Amino acid sequence: MPTITLPDNSQREFDQPVTVMDVSKDIGPGLAKATLAGKVNDKLVDASYLIEDDSMLQIITDRDPEGLEVIRHSSAHLMAQAVKALYPEAQVTIGPVIEDGFYYDYAYEPGFTPEDLEKIEKKMQELVKADYEVTRSVMSRDEAVAFFRNMGEEYKAEIIESIPENEELSLYSQGDFIDLCRGPHVPSTGRIKAFKLMKVAGAYWRGDSNNEMLQRIYGTAWLDKKALKAYLHRLEEAEKRDHRKIAKKQGLFHFQEEAPGSVFWHPKGWTLFNKLISYMRERQDDAGYIEVNTPDVMDRSLWETSGHWENYREHMFSTTTEDERVYALKPMNCPGSVLMFSQGLKSYRDLPLRMAEFGKVHRYEPSGALHGLMRVRHFTQDDAHIYCTEEQMEQECIDVIELILDIYKDFGFDDVVIKFSDRPENRIGSDEVWDKLEGALVNALNVMGKDYKLFPGEGAFYGPKLEFVLRDAIGRDWQCGTLQVDMNLPERFDISYIGEDGEKHRPVMLHRALFGSLERFTGILIENYTGAFPVWLAPVQVVAIAITEKQEEYTKKVADTLKNQGFRVDVDLRNETIGLKIRDHAMQRVPYQLILGAREQENNNVAVRTRAGKDLGAMSVEDFVLLLEKDIAGLGRIELED
């Protein structure tokens, strides 16, 4: 009879097989009421799962991350039950969990309207109140095909027909609704507390544009109404901060169909972009990096050697020339960097060699995945490759991690989560090499006392990696920087250095990006700051505004004085009211406005306003320069919004 070992290593013995819920009840009624599912020997299962042998058990409640996933999965079924109750002729197809929620695809010829979504959501709430028990049953594949076809669910039957013949299938029932699903699900519909249907969209059956168009309803679900309200508030804030809208208002960039996934940078946007590069170039110089540049187009043979042709070809742009040579636009900078290292003999005295590159890379992304600056096909990486000895590897990892975290602080990102991804199933290199590489990353984090989250099997095909996830001003997470350790590409390209013993040795290669994609990081900054950039980063730091045409020459003189000292200044000499000019530049989120009228001209000073409308009074140009310098020296942390 089973002995159940709990996470605290306490044990409970039973004289007969028990379900996860039985164990919860044995521990206490409060836990039973909170139980959503269980984890038996690391496998996520229903609360009704029967445990027959000695097992490790974790009770899953709303305090566990898995609990939210189960709720979202069950919410998709709840929505499908509501749809079938209201629109019996609709056929259900596929309904997975996605980030922050779920969706379900339906074959429904009339299509769903926003008013239909309101009705479906109301019906879901009724089903929650009914608190239907959710039960699991099994069928053979052929039985399941016949069962769903008899119900008129042709799409579901087609899905099942594609499953191997001998596979046993699980079905879940709640009330009069039954659906094919692997589970697990909540014990009853009453456990689903907070959800909202968000939108309806079209989706091709099985993602194939040759197939019929289905109706996809998106929803979100959370542990409680407070969490749902917070999420909806974040969405409202995100809408206000959409970098594409802000870019249009401020004239930063645009996109066109003639170059999908590629950015047309306008002067102000290009200034912002280059300011980020200048900042990173200075930080890298201080950290002992050298900067190089490698070609954008290289022969297929290079990508075969690196392993990209085999493992990454579907994301690469390639072409064949008249002499039948195949070339590819580089999706990554690393092979070019290796070729740079291979030029000339290297000694152990040359290592670590930190080689940085602001390289343009090109990756095919499906058109539906493109999203402003956040997902593009042509972008710039602040890439670097560090070549070092095995003995230097751990310290170089520590130095990179410290640099990344310090840089993020300069942009106001103090809340950073580190993800560690170990060896994927599809990889190159021996297990022995992977053991060394994974050990170097983990040891570096442990030495620094940094917490991290493990993501098994999500490393790159050539090495494990760390990913650095930033939390922005409204609580959204963005994955930006990466650090990967690699002994496989040096082996494949047969690069070496001469050691202290006079023999050839293989270097370790660290792949490192701090911003990641500069385009994406720019988009993150636009949304994080709502276009109100710190003074040091703002495309225009100061605008000098003439009240009347009599102050035009004085306004130009003040602007030239500031420009000559390296500040980014615009001049507004328009024949408009001063109120309109002030409002226009406040909308542009220019940090400082200098209002220049007859009094300022007479006294040879400037009247200063912040973008939030705070009047700093009159001061000399010299004093204003000191204010600007102080602001920039603090990387813009003087609060302009007060």
Per-residue HEC secondary structure of 94-159 comes to: CCCEECCEEEEEEECCCCCCHHHHHHHHHHHHHHHHHCCEEEEEEECHHHHHHHHHHCCCHHHHHH
Tens-digit pLDDT profile for residues 356-372: 999 999 999 988 888 99
DSSP H/E element including 610: strand 605-610
Domains and CATH numbers, the chain: 3-61 (3.10.20.30), 66-237 (3.30.980.10), 248-292+332-528 (3.30.930.10), 542-633 (3.40.50.800)
DSSP state of 337: H
Identify residue 442 by its one-letter amino acid code. V
The residue annotated as part of the active site, out of 81, 174, 250, 381, is: 381
Q: Which residues contact 349 (CB under 8 A, 6 or more apart)?
A: none
For residues 119 and 101, what is the distance between their CA atoms, to the nearest angstrom? Answer: 19
- Does 381 qualify as catalytic in the annotation? yes
* Whether pLDDT at 473 is above 90: no
pLDDT at 642: 39
pLDDT at 506: 95
- Structure tokens given for 268: 């102000």
Place of tokens 């385009």: 519
For residues 95 and 80, what is the distance between their CA atoms, to the nearest angstrom? Answer: 8
Mean of pLDDT values over 400-422: 94
Confidence of residue 638 (pLDDT cuts 50, 70, 90): very low
Tens-digit pLDDT profile for residues 511-525: 999 999 999 999 999
- Does 465 qualify as catalytic in the annotation? yes
For residues 333 and 295, what is the distance between their CA atoms, to the nearest angstrom? Answer: 9
Nearest to 292 by CA among 387, 373, 389: 387
Tens-digit pLDDT profile for residues 565-623: 999 999 999 999 999 999 999 999 999 999 999 999 999 999 999 998 899 999 999 99
pLDDT at 635: 60
Per-residue HEC secondary structure of 473-494 comes to: CCCCEEEEEEEEEECHHHHHCC
For residues 78 and 83, what is the distance between their CA atoms, to the nearest angstrom? Answer: 9
Mean of pLDDT values over 49-60: 92
Instruction: Reduce the DSSP state of residue 160 to 3 states and report it.
Output: helix
CA dihedral defined by 479, 480, 484, 488, rounded to 10 degrees? 90
CA dihedral defined by 145, 147, 150, 156, rounded to 10 degrees? -50
The residue annotated as part of the active site, out of 465, 568, 581, 609, is: 465
pLDDT at 641: 45
pLDDT at 637: 43
- Does 122 qualify as catalytic in the annotation? no
* Whether pLDDT at 423 is above 60: yes
The residue annotated as part of the active site, out of 383, 399, 486, 631, is: 383
Per-residue HEC secondary structure of 422-465 comes to: CCCCCCCCCHHHHHHHHHHHHHHHHHHCCCCEEECCCCECCECE
- Does 480 qualify as catalytic in the annotation? no
Mean of pLDDT values over 548-558: 95
* Whether pLDDT at 186 is above 70: yes
Mean of pLDDT values over 171-179: 94
* Mean predicted lDDT score pLDDT of the chain: 93
The residue annotated as part of the active site, out of 363, 568, 609, 611, is: 363
Tell me the CB-side half-sphere exposure of residue 458, using CA atoms within 13 A.
10
The residue annotated as part of the active site, out of 72, 216, 346, 511, is: 511
> Nearest 5 degrees, angle CA 43-CA 78-CA 220?
80
- Structure tokens given for 623: 């004093």
CB 271 within 8 A of CB 567: no
Q: Which residues contact 497 (CB under 8 A, 6 or more apart)?
A: 346, 347, 348, 350, 351, 387, 389, 504, 505, 507
Instruction: Reduce the DSSP state of residue 264 to 3 states and report it.
Output: strand
What are the phi and psi torsion angles at 203 (to 5°)? -155, 130
Place of tokens 């409204």: 474
Model confidence, pTM: 0.80
Tens-digit pLDDT profile for residues 288-337: 999 999 999 999 999 999 989 988 899 999 999 988 999 999 999 999 99
- Does 254 qualify as catalytic in the annotation? no
pLDDT at 487: 86
For residues 170 and 635, what is the distance between their CA atoms, to the nearest angstrom? Answer: 58
For residues 174 and 78, what is the distance between their CA atoms, to the nearest angstrom? Answer: 9
* Whether pLDDT at 150 is above 80: yes
Percentage of residues in the chain having pLDDT higher than 90? 82
For residues 317 and 429, what is the distance between their CA atoms, to the nearest angstrom? Answer: 26
CA 386 to chain centre: 25
> Nearest 5 degrees, angle CA 590-CA 591-CA 592?
100
Question: Strand pairing of 169-174 and 134-139?
Answer: antiparallel
Tens-digit pLDDT profile for residues 479-522: 999 999 988 899 999 999 999 999 999 999 999 999 999 999 99
- Does 240 qualify as catalytic in the annotation? no
The residue annotated as part of the active site, out of 354, 385, 512, 589, is: 385
